[in-house]
Structure 1
Amino acid sequence: MFLPIGAFLTGTRRRSRGWGTRPPLVPAAGARWHPGVGVGEVRGREPPAPAAGRDRSEGALSRDTWTQRDEGVIVMLVAALDALDTRPPQGATPAVKPTGQPERLFTPAFALLWAASFCVFLSFYLLLPLLPVYAAGLGMGESSIGLVIGVFALASMVWKPWAGWVVDWRGRRGILMAGAALFALANLCYPAARSAAPLLLVRVVHGTGMGLFPTAAVAIVTDLVPAARRGEAMGLFGMAANLGLAVGPALAGPAEAWLGFTGVCVLATGLATAGTALAFLTRDTARRTARPPLRLRGLLAPQALYPAALTLLALVPYGALMAFLPLLVRERGIASAGLFFTLIAAALLVIRTTAGQLSDRLGRPIVVAPALAVVAASLLVVAVARAPWAIYGAGLLFGLGFGGAQPALMAWAADLVPPGDRGKAMATYYTAWELGIGGGQIALGALLSVAGFAGLFAAAAMMPLIGAALALARVPTARARVT
């Protein structure tokens, strides 16, 4: 009873917890306070007529005959007790601050997770442009290089559904730490892999880390942020990986020239270890539940399959760029692939948060469709261009399209499931992500020997075009249900 009356007096929830605002409730003339009618509601009407057989003339005070003077005395006495109570009202949600402004997204918990993600992804992208060249230096052919690069994504794809099942059951933090630790282990082992078989094994370990870490991290993000700003939050959190993409490839060449491949691997190991330490400090956001049945059908979220399918179509060309762009620029006499990936990351940093906000306001499909069309256009430029400025411009264009689609697709997948299935939704999304990357690298790697780089990237451009058409098919429908 004390909390509702204090809310009646002050009109606003306590600011220290970031609870929602409530307009002051000022009783109209003749109003009565009715104990037990709800959360401190003041009804501007007379109380119900007394039950039959009860006599008001005897002067007895029943619960529904408080006068305004009596009510004022009680409110003033209890307000002091309410001021000492810092608990949120039952069922309160922190969606809006008392000032009327949207709740802050970049909280300390969010920042810690963001820093862990940045360290892990920087360690990944630092080695990204070096591995195809390293594999070629070991005497591997183009199809073998595609297999070595692609098996990473396939290993990640295999582990993601299991990771989603575990994070919904046992919590997020353990899987988060395990994934980051596997990044560190794989980075340390690369210099010892001097032939195809050991290199494939290290790539499987590395891919397993990728299967675990992002699944848990994004599930935590969906727990931390309000649903109405989920697209914006996905864009903001994804900037950690994008910043790693901006910095990592740009540093890879100079770092290798200074430290050698082994030294770069040691540096990447240190970064992943720092990410593991930050993951250890991260607060778990999910409670342990009863063990759900471990069935293949129950590892994924069927509701999220549509945005996951669009994600797969968007990631086929992304996988092709990661595996074969370093070889393409070398064949065409362009200085470095690192600048291409840096420009992708710069565009991602610019567009992601804005695209997420737009998808929150306009709906996910209407943002995804034009973004995927831009991705397709950039790949057609890569297929035919030979001037360095055109190749680098295509990287910028690709980043704008991919950065526009990614947060909207991720939020779309999370929108379609209840909170208890968010781990599975993210597993579904990332399974499609890795299947697109790995499948694209292996299939397009086989196409490379037949069609060359021009044919490879022209074929890759067809995938996001199909995705754009499928997204357009959902534009006339209502906005995705947000849970």
Structure 2
Amino acid sequence: MTAPSQEPSPRSYRFLIIVCCGLGFASYLTSYMRIPVVPLFAQDLGAGAVMVGLINSAFLLTSGVFSFPFGLLADRWGRKLVVSAGLIVSLVTSVLLAVSTLPWHLLVIYLFFGLGLAAIGPTLMAYVADLSPPSQLGSSYGAYTLAIYTGMSLGPGLGGWVADWLGFRLLFIIAAALVGLVFLLALVYLPSSGHLPHLATAASRPASSWRTLLRHRPLLACWLITLGGCFGLGTFITFAPLYMKAQNLSLRDIGLVFALQAGVNAISRLPCGRLSDWLGRRWLQAIAGFLFLGGSLAAFGLATTLPAFLLATTVLGIAMSLGFTSAGALIAEVVPATDRGLAMGGYNTCIYLGQMTSSALLGLVIGWCGYALSFALSALVVALSTAGFYLLIRDASP
């Protein structure tokens, strides 16, 4: 089930994993410096709530839909080219944000911003798999996801502080300059496919190989459980603040709950990755993680006090680390090295589309039957996707 690959020397692979972690951190830091600020900028340009929603939806839609084809291009054209192109797009969109004057300008720019992030995210994940020895995949993914979640956590605060100090337009220029620095670092330090022997023949593989990959049961299992898990995650991100407000929690308390979830999730990524390396059976850890994720969502929907919310969100953070770290490393194990870009593109597509689906559908369900049953329904979706994961992967698992 595991694709053979040449194992790099410990020193070289560790340095290159650090490079990928640094680039991932910087890419998501600069992206998330802009993401929470753009809605406020759009309001200043005269956008209403509907247009603000369309702007954010455009980013999520293009990021989700194009992660898959960009992953395929990374396999065929080379990872370094796709990452570099994504960084250039991210830089250009940041500059265009600084000179935009109408809300529809932001809508068009954000469509392309999503394209840039779709090119960067899955390709760097594929790089991590390419560079890591098979026995260290869990640790490598734990370190990488720790880096990007740290960037995602620090970016909004840094962006808000810079915007408050210098204004929206200078923030976008500063973000563009930082992306330019990341681009230069990627050019210097990221290896090309020619320096990774197991990728040197990627361009010569048959064009129909992606169809074979779409019939790959273990890969489909990983995509399915990721889709279901992100349906649950989207429920938490979108509707947890509303539910806690309905339970008379203050904005400070709501912020504390989200900060705890993000912190626990980030801190536990590396230990959970090492645990999956030690256990060897990543699929079992993924099942445990996603079942705990579903259970924590159901418990969150029953909570009414701050301590109960804090307990449920702590379990949620640990469960996310157990599940998503194992699923990401498992994808790298079950597909050939030359198809990892496509596989990670599909993985990122499931992340975005899962969150989009729950955000779009659960609002209607909450209006019909309330928060508790809606969170329980989301937990059921996670459990069903976990069951489907087991049915798809059981025959291929040791």
Q: Shorter-chain TM-score: what band?
A: 0.7 to 0.9
**Matching of residue 344 in structure 1 with residue 257 in structure 2:** no
Aligned residues of 1:129 and 1:322 also touching (Cα < 8 A) = no
Cα separation, partners in 2 of 1:193 and 1:115, compared to 1, 3 Å: same
Aligned-pair distance for 1:266? 3.9
Aligned residues of 1:301 and 1:428 also touching (Cα < 8 A) = no
Secondary structure (helix, strand or coil) at the match of 1:200 reads helix
Cα distance in structure 1, aligned partners of 2:167 and 2:312: 30
- Percent identity reads 25
Amino acid at match of 2:182: G
Amino acid at match of 1:307: C
Aligned-pair distance for 1:254? 4.3
Cα distance in structure 1, aligned partners of 2:5 and 2:118: 35
Aligned-pair distance for 1:245? 2.7
Residue from 269, 279, 287 that aligns with 2:200: 287
Aligned-pair distance for 1:307? 0.6
Aligned residues of 2:33 and 2:160 also touching (Cα < 8 A) = no
**Matching of residue 218 in structure 1 with residue 125 in structure 2:** yes
Larger Rg: 1
* 1:6-25 alignment runs, 5 A limit: none
Aligned-pair distance for 1:322? 4.4
Aligned-pair distance for 1:311? 0.6
Aligned residues of 1:329 and 1:337 also touching (Cα < 8 A) = yes
Matched residue, 1:317: 232
Secondary structure (helix, strand or coil) at the match of 2:252 reads coil
Matched residue, 1:302: 215
Residue from 431, 437, 445 that aligns with 2:349: 431
Aligned residues of 1:348 and 1:402 also touching (Cα < 8 A) = yes
Aligned residues of 2:253 and 2:306 also touching (Cα < 8 A) = no
Aligned-pair distance for 1:437? 2.5
Aligned-pair distance for 1:264? 4.2
**Matching of residue 119 in structure 1 with residue 26 in structure 2:** yes
Considering Cα pairs closer than 8 Å and 6+ residues apart, tell me whether 1 or 2 has the greater RCO: 2
Q: Pick which of 128-137 and 407-416 moved more.
A: 128-137
Cα separation, partners in 2 of 1:464 and 1:352, compared to 1, 3 Å: same
Give CA deviations for 1:199-227 in whole Å, capped at 9, x if unaligned: 43233212111211122212221111111
Matched residue, 1:268: 175
> What TM-score, normalized by structure 2, do the two folds share?
0.80
Aligned residues of 1:168 and 1:422 also touching (Cα < 8 A) = yes
Amino acid at match of 1:220: Y
Cα distance in structure 1, aligned partners of 2:370 and 2:179: 36
Where do 5+ consecutive residues of structure 1 fail to align?
Answer: 1-90, 98-102
Cα distance in structure 2, aligned partners of 1:92 and 1:404: 25
Matched residue, 1:403: 321
Aligned-pair distance for 1:157? 2.6
Cα separation, partners in 2 of 1:207 and 1:366, compared to 1, 3 Å: same
Aligned residues of 2:139 and 2:273 also touching (Cα < 8 A) = yes
Residue from 251, 256, 262 that aligns with 1:334: 251
Where do 5+ consecutive residues of structure 2 fail to align?
Answer: 194-198
Cα distance in structure 2, aligned partners of 1:182 and 1:309: 30
**Matching of residue 170 in structure 1 with residue 77 in structure 2:** yes
Cα distance in structure 2, aligned partners of 1:198 and 1:439: 26
Amino acid at match of 1:217: L
The alignment of Structure 1 onto Structure 2 pairs a total of residues equal to 382
Aligned-pair distance for 1:184? 2.9
Cα separation, partners in 2 of 1:158 and 1:478, compared to 1, 3 Å: closer
* 1:12-411 alignment runs, 5 A limit: 93-94=6-7, 103=10, 107-130=14-37, 138-141=47-50, 147-190=54-97, 197-281=104-188, 282-285=190-193, 286-287=199-200, 289-290=202-203, 298=211, 301-303=214-216, 304-323=219-238, 333-335=250-252, 339-360=256-277, 361-383=279-301, 385=303, 387=305, 390-411=308-329
Aligned residues of 1:116 and 1:279 also touching (Cα < 8 A) = yes
Matched residue, 1:29: none
Cα separation, partners in 2 of 1:476 and 1:290, compared to 1, 3 Å: closer
Cα distance in structure 2, aligned partners of 1:269 and 1:387: 43
Write 1 or 2 for the structure with the bigger share of helix: 2
Cα separation, partners in 2 of 1:451 and 1:248, compared to 1, 3 Å: farther
Cα distance in structure 2, aligned partners of 1:193 and 1:309: 39
